[in-house]
Amino acid sequence: MGKTFINGIGCVSAQDTVNGFPSEFIIDPSTNYLEIVKPDYKDYFSPIASRRMAKGVKNGIVASTVAMKEAGNESPDAIITGTGMGCIEDSDKFLKAIIDNKEEFLTPTSFIQSTHNTVASTIAINLGCKAYNFTYVNGAVSFESALYDAKLQLDADEAHSVLIGGVEEMTEYTKSLFKLAGFIKPDDSGPHNILEADTKATVFSEGATFFMLEDERKDSTYAEILDVEIVNKLTPEEAAEHAEAFIRRNNLTLHEIDAVVLGYNGDSEFDGYFKAVAKNFDFAPQMYYKHVSGEYNTASAFGLYVGANILKSQQIPSDLKANDESRPAYRNMLLYNQYRGLDHSFTLISV
Amino acid sequence: MEALKQELKEKIIAVLNLEDITPADIANDAPLFGEGLSLDSIDALELIVLLDKDYGIKLTDPKEGKAIFQSIDTMADYVTTHRTK
């Protein structure tokens, strides 16, 4: 059975991540929305080429380009993306045009670009890649679904390299709806404590994180993906039990887990899930990341970016520490995420 | 006519989202497709909708577009003679 190594990573986020893993993070507890640090897009495509790209597509192209370049592989055997909301910017534009123009004068560009698979297909077109191309739209496990598919293909020797990514974009209109729905914390309600939340809803953002997965270890290798599991619905107690069973199924004991990356997002209504899982690992260093990445359906891809970088560098940035534990070396790492009590994902990575 | 040409350039830049291009960058006689701005068939559809929406011109034969969208000069000539609004 083949193995799965992360050999290249590209990330566009609310942090300066395009040029590598930051040594310091931008932390702003006062806001309910983290703006991304925009890359210099001209370094990746011409203005003419970008004229039809919404920001999610642009960020996806940048992140995937960086990941492939780092792995030294621009010919993946498959391109698989995950996105919860897809290309919402062009969906907004198209639907607004229908209303504004009374269903007349509909232009093709925003319609064409509004489909969820726009990012994966644009990457493939740019590469001239006619291989397997798939996009998962499964809420907050969209990225893990892509990861799961890639791992199955690498395990089964059906592919030797798979480019995977999680992409999300936000628009002003969707942001306003999310505030109305109580998904984003109200304006001017900060400062927000993501780790010890005392209010409902979350601090949102957007981003694109891509990984070049290959079946062989290289100099550029960050970590090996040992396993990934997705569960739609659990209680906090079941999530904790599930994490234990997941680790044991991979022939590890709880004490062999050297670090845990948790998706705390500052939502007091659902924080109990992370606390329940964390309780069983009080001996291990614990990390959180959504205070620097914000919440979005594929924020867990940022979590994997954090975890993989920590395993490679063997250093945990102080800004990401959720407790005071430390280890002389970090070998095995568990990542757990959920969103609003649903879409639970468990990912196990190793050096 | 010069005002219309300027207006067309501004509309094309806005509709096609041509970042970093100003009306001054588009010569009146420069080809819009292939060379010049390197527009393609999807852009042509956007321009057909632009003529319909802003000037009341309905292009029933898409082949007409090739001659009309040759340059800003040819577009302006066609709009001047066929506009209904």
* Residues B46-67: tens digit of each pLDDT: 999 999 999 999 998 878 888 9
If asked whether residues A264 and A172 sit together in one domain, one would say no
Strands A132-136 and A286-288: unpaired
pLDDT values of chain A reduced to their tens digit, one per residue, 351 residues: 789 999 999 999 999 999 999 999 999 999 999 999 999 999 999 888 888 999 999 999 999 999 999 999 999 999 999 999 999 999 999 999 999 989 988 888 999 999 999 999 999 999 999 999 999 999 999 999 999 999 999 999 999 999 999 999 999 999 999 999 999 999 999 999 999 999 999 999 999 999 999 999 999 999 999 999 999 999 999 999 999 999 999 999 999 999 999 999 999 999 999 999 999 999 999 999 999 999 999 999 999 999 999 999 999 999 999 999 999 999 999 999 999 999 999 999 999
Q: With respect to residue A220, please indicate whether it lies within any of the assigned structural domains.
A: no
Q: Are residues A197 and A230 in the same domain?
A: no
> Phi, psi at residue A142, to the nearest 5°?
-60, -45
Residues A73 and A102 reside in one and the same domain: yes
The answer to whether the Cβ–Cβ distance between A109 and B42 falls below 8 Å is yes
Mutation test of the interface with chain B: which of A109, A118, A122, choosing the one with the most B Cβ atoms within 10 A?
Answer: A109
Is A117 found in the same domain as A209? Answer: yes
Domain end call among A214, A243, A278:
A214
Say whether residue B18 is in contact with chain A using an 8 A CB cutoff: yes
Question: What's the gap in Å between the CA of A142 and the closest CA on chain B?
Answer: 30
Contact A47 B45 (CB under 8 A): no
Asked if residue A152 is part of any domain, the answer here is yes
Is the CA virtual torsion A53, A57, A63, A64 positive or negative? negative
Number of separate domains in chain A: 2
A112 to chain B, any CB pair closer than 8 A? The answer is yes
> Which one of A45, A51, A114, A122 makes the best mutation probe of the B interface by having the most chain B beta carbons within 10 Å?
A51
Question: Encoding tokens for residue A267?
Answer: 């939502």
**Residue A306 structural domain:** 226-350
Would the CB atoms of A101 and B38 count as touching at under 8 Å? Answer: no
> Is B4 in CB contact (< 8 Å) with chain A?
no
SS (H, E, C) chain A: CCCCEEEEEEEECCCCCCCCCCCCCCCCCCCCECCCCCCCHHHCCCCCCCCCCCHHHHHHHHHHHHHHHHHCCCCCCEEEEECCCCCHHHHHHHHHHHHHCCCCCCCHHHHHHCCCCHHHHHHHHHHCCCCEEEEECCHHHHHHHHHHHHHHHHHCCCCCEEEEEEEECCCHHHHHHHHHCCCECCCCCCCCCCCCCCCCCECECCEEEEEEEECCCCCCCCEEEEEEEEEEECCHHHHHHHHHHHHHHCCCCHHHCCEEEECCCCCCCCHHHHHHHHHCCCCCCEEECHHHHCECCCHHHHHHHHHHHHHHHCCCCHHHECCCCCCCCCCEEEEEEEECCEEEEEEEEEC
Q: Which residues of A touch B38 (CB under 8 A)?
A: 48
Residues from chain B contacting residue A47 (CB–CB below 8 Å) = 18-21
Q: Which residues of chain A does B19 touch, with a Cβ-Cβ cutoff of 8 Å?
A: 47, 50-51
* Residue of A293, A302, A260 lying closest to A279 (CA atoms): A260
Interface touch B18/A107, C-beta < 8 Å: no
Q: Does the CB of A232 have a partner CB in chain B at under 8 Å?
A: no
Q: Is the Cβ of A191 closer than 8 Å to some Cβ of chain B?
A: no
Domain boundaries, chain B: 2-82
Give the distance from residue A107's alpha carbon to the nearest chain B alpha carbon, in angstroms: 6
Query: For residue A182, what is the domain's CATH number?
Result: 3.40.47.10
Q: Inform me whether the C-beta atom of residue A125 falls under 8 Å from chain B C-beta atoms.
A: no
Residue A221 lies in a domain: no
CA dihedral over B70, B76, B81, B85, signed as positive or negative = positive
pLDDT over 80 (residue B36): no
Residue A119 belongs to some domain of the structure: yes
Cβ of A108 under 8 Å from any chain B Cβ?
A: yes
Q: Encode pLDDT of A241-263 as tens digits.
A: 999 999 999 999 999 999 999 99
Last residue of one domain, picked from the residues A185, A214, A243 = A214
- Distance separating alpha carbons of residues A5 and A149, to the nearest angstrom: 14
pLDDT at A46: 87
Structure tokens at B33: 């497709």
CB contact under 8 A, A47 and B21: yes
Contact of A107 with chain B, judged by CB distance below 8 Å, is answered with yes
Q: Please answer whether residues A266 and A193 qualify as being in contact, where contact means their C-beta atoms are separated by less than 8 angstroms.
A: yes
**Considering A184, A214, A244, which residue would you say is the last residue of a domain?**
A214
Cα–Cα–Cα angle for A19, A23, A28, nearest 5°? 95
Whether residues A57 and A180 share a domain: the answer is yes
The CATH H-level (homologous superfamily) assignment of domain B2-82 is ACP-like (1.10.1200.10)
Mutate to test the interface with A, among B33, B42, B47 (most CBs of A within 10 A): B42
Residue B9 half-sphere exposure, CB side, CA atoms within 13 Å?
Answer: 21
- Note whether A49 contacts B: Cβ–Cβ < 8 A: no
Task: State the smallest CA–CA distance between residue A104 and chain B in angstroms.
Answer: 8
pLDDT (0 to 100) of residue B63: 80
A320-325 contact pairs (CB < 8 A, 24+): A320/A25, A320/A287, A320/A288, A320/A289, A320/A292, A321/A285, A321/A286, A321/A287, A322/A195, A322/A262, A322/A264, A322/A278, A322/A286, A322/A287, A322/A288, A323/A282, A323/A285, A323/A286, A325/A282, A325/A283, A325/A284, A325/A285, A325/A286
A52: nearest CA in chain B?
B17
A50 and A163 share a domain?
A: yes
In this structure, the answer to whether residues A179 and A236 fall within a common structural domain is no
